[in-house]
Structure 1
Amino acid sequence: MKPELRQALKQNVLIGDGAMGTYLYQQGFPVGISYEELNLVQSEVIADVHRRYYEAGARIIETNTFSANREKLSKYGLEQEVDSINRAGVELARSSVGEDAYVVGAIGSIRAGKRKNVRTSEVEVALREQILVLLDTPVDGLLLETFYDLDELLIALKLIRQLSPLPVICQFATEGTDATQDGVPLHEAFLRVRDEGADVIGFNCRTGPNGILRSLQNVAPLVDMPFSVFPNAGIPDYVDGRYSYAATPEYFAESALRFANLGARIIGGCCGTTPEHIAAMAKVLQDYTPAEEAINELRAAAQAVVTENAPQGSTSQPASEPSLVDLVKKRHTVIVELDPPRDLDIAKFMEGSKALQDMGVDAITMADNSLAVTRMSNLAMGMLVKEQLKARPLIHIACRDRNSIGTQSHLMGLHALGIDHVLAVTGDPARFGDLPGSSSVYDLTSFEMIRMIKQLNEGIAFSGKPLKKKANFIIGAAFNPNVKHLDKAVHRLERKIEAGADYIMTQPVYDPLLIERMYEATKHLKAPLFIGIMPLASGRNAEYLHNEVPGIQLSDEVRARMAGLEGEEGRREGVAISQELLDAAMPLFNGIYFMTPFLFYDMSVQLTKYVWEKAGRRDLLLSPLVK
């Protein structure tokens, strides 16, 4: 007979299961249906998922009841089925796994990060109803997961503690930040949840292992409290209408060992994870016994984790005479991406922009809330760069954030400001950013946006009505060469050029051989390419980019060279690797696109100087501004 869950956590690291919703999505079940209703109408499917995770090694099995509350089910006309769906969820989980597994009733956030969409009284009613049903079933514990706000989590926890002494696991959704979405520091939030009677506290969803590790450094003093981690399989990519996740089972196995050494007692997976991810973690932690030295070492390492998300490799182009397209046809041309600030302090951004302008870059590009993380308006920052520094801004425009009305309005404003180089990108889905309650608009695809901007150049509004003037936008498109079938990616690129793209910006490339292959595959295109190079800042940064950020793939050699490097040593090696990539790229491509990691603009300055030296740009190298 298995020990009670609290007792088991004192003795072992327990493997949790993986995703239910995204796994069903991968099996062909569409977004927009109630996955919880499948407990009733296709119970064999849910039972099979539970069985697969159990056979993979999971011993914490979550019921398929995450959204089985009145508020969420009402969207599907199922608000009267709260009792039957929750009871069926427990029965399916219990009957599909062995006696050695712990079945926990899953309860998700109702507000889901939308602070004012449901009144507190309605939240309490819906949570109480679901909790009462689950407590009347043979669960081994309850799991409160993907809660963004401390306030809502405490509502649920207090309700449970009024009704039952059953073990409770509480998990916040995190993106590697140091506070909950309602502004409570994580350390304080953990203490308050512990004091209200939680047995395990942890994190799930919103981010991959790297982000959760960053958040853990903010609660490291709670070493006497069991904690749980259920990371996503990295950041989802959205290609041709489908979501996919990059993190491999092998990467999850390495991460599981790191979490175990840090003291995690429950380790599972969230969005994008599969039975293969769980099996890899179970294998590496089989017969696991942590050494105290390893625990201390990795706890110290957690404090050094990089605290910024890497920028996504999207791009745009500068506005001036001659255009970047004209320049790149004649000589090597450098554009550099700087992320607009995430707060109201623009000093470092402007300082970096000035240093790059002094080094003679041809444009400074600004993404449009890359990775769906809220940043200062790139239009505003572009205007400051243009007016105060006399540098060329290159503005990205994401399909995600504006409907057709807002997109045309935004473009008309850019035209009025004299900013005419833009990049049309799809944009990362809003639900994976720092405001997951926000809606992704996607009125237009990137192909449609390119065509509509070209239409403005013809003096025709999106509506088809004539305009009194013609715009003069030079339009960029994004290209990801880090794919299995390069020919298919090039074909997609050809369609963007047919739609009207004037130039192409690539995702970062880390393999000289791929640069050569890319040249052969794209040399027939009429639109010039700017090769994306993002210098690596550390070994951890390299692993995060490779495993968790869609569209970025590092070679084994690069990962090996960066392994274990941090601080200045890591940045020095990152610059050296980038210089070797430039050696391969510059004989083949005139366009160079640097992406600055974490506003370490001195790295981009060094690399720009390297380009000018190789290109023999004595006019720039002899300038008093270039040190």
Structure 2
Amino acid sequence: MSHPLIDLLAGGTVVFDGAMGTELYKRNHFVNICFDELSLRDPKVVREVHEASRKAGADVLTTNSFGANRYKLADYLLAERTKEIAAAAARIAREVAGRELLVAGSVGPLGRHASGGALSPHEAVDAFAEAIVALMEGGADFILFETFARSRDLGFAVEAARGLGAPYLPCMAFGDIASSLGGESIDEFFAPCLGAGAGAAAPLMLGFNCSVGPKQMLDNLQDFVPRSTLPVLAMPNAGAPQRINDRMFYMTSPEYFASYAKRFAELGVKAVGGCCGTGPEHIAEAARALKALDRAGAAGVAGVAGAVSLEVVGGAAPVECAPLAQRSAFGRALAEGRWVTSVEIVPPTGWDLAKTVERAKRCAEAGVHAINIPDGPRASARVSPMITSQRIQAEAGIEAVLHVTCRDRNLIGVQSDLLGCAAAGINNLLIITGDPPKLGDYPYATAVFDLDSIGLVRVAQRLNVGLDIGGKPVAPPTRFVLGVGADPTNLDQEREIERFFRKAEAGAEYAITQPVYDPEALIAYIERVRFTGVRIIAGIWPLASYNNALFLNNEVPGVSIPESIMERMRKAGDKESARRVGIETAREILDAVRPYVAGVQVSAPFGNVETALAVLAEE
């Protein structure tokens, strides 16, 4: 088979572009409009996306025509403009591609299933043919059938392409396992393309796109790629989207995406691109990694794990992250496996930090390793935790562990504050999503949540390798010790565990748990996450009274106190007796979990560090 795409494959791994819809959305075109029509109504923005993909290093540009068929366009009263819209999409892509790059004419499912009887086979084939003709006449080099879930629907699309003599590349959308969203195996799904007599009408490649992230797609392709008789294209999503305040965010970093692009190539995948959530930044990292890998292969050089990510191939590239032991004293203790202790002190609601600094000094004198500084716990307004941390480190002679939340800052503000932390010498971070304002004293305050904790860990990790959120170099790189939260008693344990894995994958090095009152729950949790290598620090909150226990159990997110402890606090009696029982209970919990954890963080109830130190007294 002679085709420019086949010729391109002979020169190494081919890079397709990322998601058109994601980029249009970023440019303030919202999902309730017809993205396909933008090729007519706002061709400049479509051209900008293609130009960004070309600059990123894509070899193939995909037209803005995924939904450009008569049935989907009918929802926008645009069915009669199908040919015009598809042809315009192809022309724009061709203008940007020139003759150096290839153009894939994107054709998605019709939106009505001929396989389900909504359309006749003739109607389905005719609708696909209409779009294909317009795309090829507009300048597409081949047709890319994207995100198909059923072989019968794909069969009608393939029939249309074959009838027109159009070269085509079919793509299957995976379900949760190595089968299509329609429940068919890979072989069953591609049967319409590979049946007897396909001959010259066979597809250029076999593709897989959308529905799953890089890891799931790689897992699903392990058995198929080595036995495929045709080259394979992989275009995963940027992981799974996360819902934050009714908005969906994809958190997969470009570096993580590129690491999987390399793994796809090592498996034998011949072309890699991106689907939902991926943009030029993901494609740029993937292109650098793949081209470096191709050069290493051509030179017969055995690759070293991680080497590709450190090679500078045009533009900014990551540098090596400083070893954990060199980033802070707290980090050194973790790296060396020493037992670490910290005390949590909440910043005051006023601006006077004198008492806070004195409490930190008392902890330092007692041999505590660090002071944990929460960031607006329970959505309260307090003096800046960053300033509090800076004062403590400067005046109390003890390191701070600064809590950083996603609630109050947009992405730019987050990066600015992180750079400020580095400038102030605050290197120990505990990154958490944060409590929404409605839980606090100011329920009408606006929650930002541009990121969740997973995304923020990735931002901080990028700074640790000398890259900002836009891929620009940061010199020198930051030296953050990256911690996250963990909730062993979360009611949705499967989601909690899955998120912990993603935090580890993003770069977390230690985790501090929510207050532990059920040692068995923590131990079971640790057994499930131990293999990640993330060091677990147990959160211990000595109860001050029965009322304090009631409040924590009912009003503080992530806290669950067993009835047996509640009963002990109820029977404790006066204030001093209750304090003593709270300390005894905390010590018992600490003794039970100590063999399983790397250290302990003890909260100072109502600012009383003597209570926290009493829990640690026998350490």
TM normalised by structure 1 equals 0.53
- 1:260 aligned to 252, 256, 265, which one? 265
Which structure 2 residues correspond to residues 308-327 of structure 1 after superposition, within 5 A?
none
SS of equivalent to 1:45: helix
Please give the alpha-carbon distance, in whole angstroms, between the structure 2 residues aligned to 1:36 and 1:78: 10
Matched, 1:555 2:508: yes
Match of 1:205 in 2: 210
Shift of 1:181: 3.1
Change (3 A) 1:33 1:216: same
Letter in structure 1 aligned against 2:502: L
Matched, 1:545 2:487: no
Matched, 1:483 2:406: yes
SS of equivalent to 1:182: coil
- 1:214 aligned to 213, 219, 223, which one? 219
Please give the alpha-carbon distance, in whole angstroms, between the structure 2 residues aligned to 1:26 and 1:547: 28
Whether contact under 8 Å (2:62, 2:106) holds in the other structure is yes
CA deviations over 1:243-270 (Å, ceiling 9, x no partner): 2110011111101100111112221111
Letter in structure 1 aligned against 2:155: L
Change (3 A) 1:274 1:117: farther
Match of 1:494 in 2: 439
Match of 2:163 in 1: 162
SS of equivalent to 1:52: helix
Match of 1:33 in 2: 33
Shift of 1:576: 7.6
Letter in structure 2 aligned against 1:545: R
Match of 1:249 in 2: 254
Shift of 1:189: 2.6
Shift of 1:296: 13
Shift of 1:104: 1.2
Please give the alpha-carbon distance, in whole angstroms, between the structure 2 residues aligned to 1:227 and 1:27: 31
Percent identical: 27
Q: Which runs of 5+ in 1 are unaligned?
A: 299-479, 500-505, 519-528, 559-569, 595-609, 617-627
Shift of 1:10: 2.7
Which structure 2 residues correspond to residues 275-294 of structure 1 after superposition, within 5 A?
275-289=280-294
SS of equivalent to 1:198: coil
Match of 2:95 in 1: 95
Change (3 A) 1:150 1:487: closer
Match of 1:574 in 2: 529
Shift of 1:217: 2.5
Shift of 1:29: 0.7
Whether contact under 8 Å (2:16, 2:271) holds in the other structure is yes
Matched, 1:132 2:133: yes
Structure 1 stretches of 4+ moved >4 Å:
112-115, 290-298, 484-488, 495-499, 506-516, 529-537, 541-544, 570-573, 576-580, 585-594, 610-613
Whether contact under 8 Å (2:112, 2:119) holds in the other structure is no
Whether contact under 8 Å (2:213, 2:237) holds in the other structure is yes
Letter in structure 2 aligned against 1:107: V
Which structure 2 residues correspond to residues 228-243 of structure 1 after superposition, within 5 A?
228-243=233-248
Please give the alpha-carbon distance, in whole angstroms, between the structure 2 residues aligned to 1:113 and 1:280: 37
Matched, 1:63 2:63: yes
Q: Which structure has the greater CA radius of gyration?
A: 2
Please give the alpha-carbon distance, in whole angstroms, between the structure 2 residues aligned to 1:18 and 1:579: 32
SS of equivalent to 1:95: helix
Whether contact under 8 Å (1:533, 1:593) holds in the other structure is no
Whether contact under 8 Å (1:36, 1:65) holds in the other structure is yes
Please give the alpha-carbon distance, in whole angstroms, between the structure 2 residues aligned to 1:10 and 1:513: 45
User: Does 1 or 2 have the higher relative contact order (CA < 8 Å, sep 6+)?
Assistant: 1
Number of equivalences: 384
Shift of 1:557: 5.6
Shift of 1:236: 1.2
Please give the alpha-carbon distance, in whole angstroms, between the structure 2 residues aligned to 1:112 and 1:496: 50
Shift of 1:46: 0.6
Change (3 A) 1:482 1:294: farther
Change (3 A) 1:513 1:152: closer
TM normalised by structure 2 equals 0.53
Match of 1:42 in 2: 42
Match of 2:592 in 1: 614
SS of equivalent to 1:77: coil
Letter in structure 1 aligned against 2:435: V
CA deviations over 1:346-371 (Å, ceiling 9, x no partner): xxxxxxxxxxxxxxxxxxxxxxxxxx
CA deviations over 1:467-521 (Å, ceiling 9, x no partner): xxxxxxxxxxxxx99737589932435169989xxxxxx99999996559x9xxx
Match of 2:73 in 1: 73
SS of equivalent to 2:230: coil
Match of 2:52 in 1: 52
SS of equivalent to 1:243: strand
Please give the alpha-carbon distance, in whole angstroms, between the structure 2 residues aligned to 1:584 and 1:612: 9
Matched, 1:142 2:138: no
SS of equivalent to 2:219: helix
Whether contact under 8 Å (1:176, 1:214) holds in the other structure is no
Please give the alpha-carbon distance, in whole angstroms, between the structure 2 residues aligned to 1:542 and 1:276: 24
Shift of 1:11: 2.7
Shift of 1:536: 10
SS of equivalent to 1:583: strand
Change (3 A) 1:182 1:491: closer
Q: Which runs of 5+ in 2 are unaligned?
A: 306-402, 409-430, 445-451, 458-480, 512-524, 544-551, 562-587, 595-619
Letter in structure 2 aligned against 1:614: A
Alignment root-mean-square deviation, CA: 4.6
Whether contact under 8 Å (2:126, 2:160) holds in the other structure is no
CA deviations over 1:168-191 (Å, ceiling 9, x no partner): 211111144122233321133345
Whether contact under 8 Å (1:233, 1:273) holds in the other structure is yes
Match of 1:82 in 2: 82
SS of equivalent to 2:207: strand
Match of 1:372 in 2: none
Change (3 A) 1:543 1:213: farther
Please give the alpha-carbon distance, in whole angstroms, between the structure 1 residues aligned to 2:484 and 2:230: 47
Whether contact under 8 Å (1:70, 1:79) holds in the other structure is yes
Letter in structure 1 aligned against 2:434: A
Match of 1:301 in 2: none
Change (3 A) 1:140 1:583: same
Letter in structure 2 aligned against 1:179: S
CA deviations over 1:285-308 (Å, ceiling 9, x no partner): 22433759999999xxxxxxxxxx
Letter in structure 2 aligned against 1:228: L
Match of 1:180 in 2: 180
> Which 10-residue stretch deviates more, 147-156 or 193-202?
193-202
- 1:584 aligned to 523, 529, 539, which one? 539
Change (3 A) 1:96 1:265: same
Please give the alpha-carbon distance, in whole angstroms, between the structure 1 residues aligned to 2:433 and 2:501: 26
CA deviations over 1:125-155 (Å, ceiling 9, x no partner): 3212112222333221110000011111121
Change (3 A) 1:154 1:530: closer
Please give the alpha-carbon distance, in whole angstroms, between the structure 2 residues aligned to 1:227 and 1:547: 30
